[in-house]
Amino acid sequence: MKKAHWLLLLPAGAIIILDQLSKIWATRIVRTYETIPLISGILDLVHVRNRGMAFGMLNRVGNEWQSYVLIAATLVAIAIIVFWFSRLENGSHGAVIGLSLVLGGAIGNLIDRVRFREVIDFLDFHIGHYHWPAFNLADSAITVGTLWLAVHLLFFSQTRSESRRRSKEYKD
pTM for the predicted model, two decimal places:
0.84
| Edge-to-edge strand list for the sheet holding 43-50 | 35-39, 43-50, 119-127, 130-131
Pick the closest to residue 152 from 105, 75, 89 (CA basis).
89
Query: pLDDT truncated to tens, each residue of the chain (172 aa)?
Result: 455 778 889 999 999 999 999 999 999 999 999 999 999 999 999 999 998 776 555 566 666 778 888 999 999 999 999 999 888 877 677 889 999 999 999 999 999 999 999 999 999 999 988 989 999 999 999 999 999 999 998 988 755 555 555 555 556 5
- Catalytic residues, by residue number, are 121, 139
pLDDT (0 to 100) of residue 162: 52
Domain boundaries, the chain: 5-31+62-115+137-171
C-alpha dihedral sign at 8, 54, 17, 79: negative
141 beta partners: none
Is residue 48 a contact partner of residue 134, using CB atoms and an 8 Å limit? Answer: yes
48 beta partners: 121
- Rounded to whole angstroms, the Cα distance separating 3 from 30 reads 42
